[in-house]
């Protein structure tokens, strides 16, 4: 736990009118600091460490999809969570990626202060870089607490972002197949 972060959380408690010496808040600055460090631990990870060389030879050249990868991130504008799921697909060219590594790539980028648009692109670019795939597609659907808990307070809004690279961008049939397989319409 970073003592500097804890000190700042204590100052925030005072600034909002709370008493950090109150029983329920005594350890809150430390707990909040630990939580923030965990929620931002993507900064301490590298793509190479996360994927750990988990590429395997394969003759498969058909679409590989990992759907409904849960993700939790923090909006860089308000430091409030956005929660959702990512759907990631790629078309292999001689090598496939270990299944869990796709989810780990999503987590690495989600555990940074983000906007959803950039998160989607970072995941797609990373999968492309790792696999050298013929194409990569990423769709993220998320609910943003910065929109639900404050501001316009719209409880049922879901933001959807997508990035299509290679064959997914060039071929409407490939893109449509992906979207249908993840349960989205074109």
What helix, strand, coil percent values describe the chain, rounded to 5?
45, 25, 30
Q: Is 122 a catalytic residue?
A: no
Sheet strand arrangement including 81-91:
113-114, 64-75, 81-91, 135-144, 159-166
Q: Is 75 a catalytic residue?
A: yes
Q: Is 146 a catalytic residue?
A: yes
Cα distance between residue 137 and residue 84, in whole Å = 17
Q: Is 87 a catalytic residue?
A: no
Q: Is 78 a catalytic residue?
A: yes
CA atoms within 13 A on the CB side of 107: 15
Q: Is 40 a catalytic residue?
A: no
- Beta strand 95-97 pairing with 64-75: unpaired
Residue with tokens 């900064």: 43
Which entry of 8, 18, 40, 146 is annotated as an active-site residue? 146
Which entry of 116, 122, 128, 141 is annotated as an active-site residue? 116
Which entry of 21, 76, 117, 170 is annotated as an active-site residue? 76
Cα distance between residue 158 and residue 111, in whole Å = 20
Q: Could you give the C-alpha distances from 72 to 53, 69, 90, 126, 144, in angstroms and in order?
A: 25, 10, 22, 18, 10
Which entry of 8, 18, 37, 78 is annotated as an active-site residue? 78
Q: Which residues are annotated as a binding site for Zn(2+)?
A: 75, 78, 146
Which entry of 77, 117, 129, 170 is annotated as an active-site residue? 77
Q: Active-site positions?
A: 75-78, 116, 144, 146
């Amino acid at each position: 736990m970073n003592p500097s972060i804890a000190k700042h959380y204590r100052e925030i408690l005072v600034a909002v009118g709370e008493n950090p010496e109150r029983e329920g808040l005594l350890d809150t600055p430390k707990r909040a600091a630990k939580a923030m460090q965990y929620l931002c631990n993507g900064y301490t990870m590298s793509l190479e460490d996360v994927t750990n060389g988990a590429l395997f030879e394969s003759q498969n050249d058909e679409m590989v999809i990992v759907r409904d990868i849960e993700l939790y991130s923090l909006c860089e504008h308000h430091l409030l969570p956005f929660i959702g799921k990512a759907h990631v697909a790629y078309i292999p060219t001689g090598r496939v990626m270990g299944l869990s590594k796709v989810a780990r790539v999503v987590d690495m980028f989600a555990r940074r202060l983000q906007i959803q648009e950039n998160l989607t692109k970072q995941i797609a670019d990373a999968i492309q870089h790792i696999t050298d795939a013929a194409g990569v597609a990423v769709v993220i659907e998320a609910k943003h607490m910065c929109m639900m808990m404050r501001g316009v307070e719209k409880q049922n809004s879901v933001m959807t972002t997508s990035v299509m690279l290679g064959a997914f961008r060039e071929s409407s049939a490939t893109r449509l197949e992906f979207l249908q397989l993840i349960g989205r319409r074109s």
